[in-house]
Amino acid sequence: MSDADADATADAVGDGNPPVRRVSDWNAERLRGLAGEHETPLYVQDLDRVRESCERLLAAFPDADVRYAVKAHTGRAVLEAVRDAGLDAECASAGEVDRALAAGFGGSRLHYTAVNPPARDLDYVAGVAEAEPELTVTVGAVDTLDRLAERGYDGRVCVRVNPGVGAGHHEKVTTGGAAKFGIPYDRAAEATRDAAGRFDVVGLHAHAGSGIDPDQLDSHRELVARMGELARDLSEPSDRDGDDPRDADPIDLEYVDVGGGFGVPYEEDAPALDLPAVAEATREAVAPLPAGVDLAIEPGRYVVADAGVLLTRVNTVKPTPDETVVGVDAGMTDLLRPAMYDAYHPIRNLGGASGEPPVAEREATPVTVAGPICETGDTLGRNRALADPSRGDLLAVGVAGAYGYEMASQYNSRPRPAEVALDDGRAAVARRRETLGDLTTVEREADRDRTDRPEGDR
Ligand code: LLP
């Protein structure tokens, strides 16, 4: 795509669909109203913004298959919005496949990426494939193919390749060079040809990592170029034993999937990803694809990240000689990313403390925002200049829509928060707040099962 075309694409999407939504763009009064009604901690996920992000992706990659990596946010309302927008679903587990099916992603819109898959997941997916023979299983190890065959699966397969080049916002999410993922590049062609004897091999796949910044585009380009080369190699007959060039048929691929990882800016002043430029670089690097082979991408974060905020209430303000600690009611159990990856999330004081002036009239004060979990790592942000926070104020933690609720846990026996979905401006509870009773449901059910059994079986 030329620069002029890219501009035209941006224009077509229009100013109503900016490349990023900052935490400062959210309507403070609306958020205060939602927190008042539903209490905190509370996730708010705006489905209209999810739709806008789908539109931007489809506009930038008009000829590609766009698949949403559902692990970023599996909420039912989000999945349905993404389905209606026209994206497919990329699932990493039986649970994700189950959710995608329930949200209406059937047949060829369903992609299961098997990472070291537990037997239970393979059993489940092989069962689903009987009713949904158009689903595709992406496989990253040769013995996963054997395990599928043992279950009678002989359907659509995509071969995941370890491209030997990775990228990402943190080493823990840099995937491309990690031995865990994919068949080593040098062995991929042979493994694919072998697989074609047993399955309907339809695609090649690689994923560099998650949260790729604009300055990591070179790694992305390299990965994409390697995948294009592999696709071209496989579209030719193979001279396997060196004497007869016709002894292995070309592989009739449908697509080359170059993964997700499209980054979003977390810092308030970081630039938005230039999606049309990434799309152009991708198309250029993969070209020429053999006739009939499409490009595919599978973004997760990009679809949902800036569509979500986490609202949390200030419980305690503690000045100390070193810093002022603002204690809030959300922590690493609600949003794990800061504790796990040292990830930065913007934080904004929305005010609301009784008797305090509006935030616009308060002085910016550097504070540490800490959660209620008994771990030092349980901070949502350090040295943040917030409009002088007071007990009772509401804080909005921005860009929390991806890997936020999804990574929430019940550690410290904390019920998971509620989530509200905004749809065309209307708010509806998408996930109710968990109760203390929810924390012990599985124990109580185990107790009941045990006491239901005859005494000799216990
Ligand atoms: N495709 C595959 C095969 C993946 O493993 C992933 C993410 C994606 C697509 C989507 O990547 P995205 O577009 O969302 O960057 N919990 C971490 C992110 C882990 C991502 C794992 N795989 C975080 O909060 O940053």
Structure tokens at 349: 């004081």
Phi/psi at 98 (5° precision): -60, -45
User: Does 158 qualify as catalytic in the annotation?
Assistant: no
* pTM beyond cutoff 0.85: yes
Fold of 3-43+305-439: Lyase, Ornithine Decarboxylase; Chain A, domain 1 (2.40.37)
The residue-averaged pLDDT of 399-416 equals: 98
454 has pLDDT over 90: no
Task: Please give the single-letter amino acid code of residue 301.
Answer: R
Ligand 1 pocket by C-beta < 6 Å: which residues?
69, 72, 90, 113, 173, 175, 207, 210-211, 259-262, 298-302, 337, 341, 403
Cα separation, 232 vs 253, whole angstroms: 10
Nearest-CA neighbor of 105 among 127, 126, 74, 63?
74
Identify which of 412, 362, 370, 407 has the alpha carbon closest to the alpha carbon of residue 389.
362
For the cut 50, the answer to whether the pLDDT of residue 10 exceeds it is no
What is the pLDDT averaged over residues 32-42?
98
The yes or no reply on domain 114-299 and CATH 3.30.300.30 is no
Looking at every residue in the chain, the average pLDDT score rounds to 93
Tell me what pLDDT residue 178 has.
84
Least confident of 159-173, 355-369, 391-405: 159-173
Check whether 407 has a pLDDT greater than 70.
yes
Burial label, 309 (beta-carbon count in 10 A; 0-12, 13-18, 19+): buried
Q: How far is the CA of 70 from the centre of ligand 1 (A)?
A: 9
pLDDT tens per residue, range 58-114: 999 999 999 999 999 999 999 999 999 999 999 999 999 999 999 999 899 999 999
Q: What is the DSSP string of 305-346?
A: GGGEEEEEEEEEEEE-SS-EEEEES--TTT--HHHHH-----
Percentage, residues of the chain above pLDDT 90? 85
Centre of ligand 1 from the C-alpha of residue 175, in Å? 9
Same fold flag, 3-43+305-439 and 114-299: no
Confidence at 387, pLDDT banded by 50, 70, 90: very high
pLDDT band at 1 (very low <50, low <70, confident <90, very high): very low
Angle between helices 217-234 and 275-286 (to 10 degrees): 30
pLDDT band at residue 243, thresholds of 50, 70 and 90? low
Task: Tell me: pLDDT of 282 over 90.
Answer: yes
Q: Give the closest residue to 31 by CA, choosing from 345, 358, 308, 372.
A: 308
Q: Nearest residue CA, atom 16 of ligand 1? A: 403
Domain boundaries, the chain: 3-43+305-439, 114-299
- Tell me the pLDDT tens digit for each residue of 317-355: 999 999 999 999 999 999 999 999 999 999 999 999 999
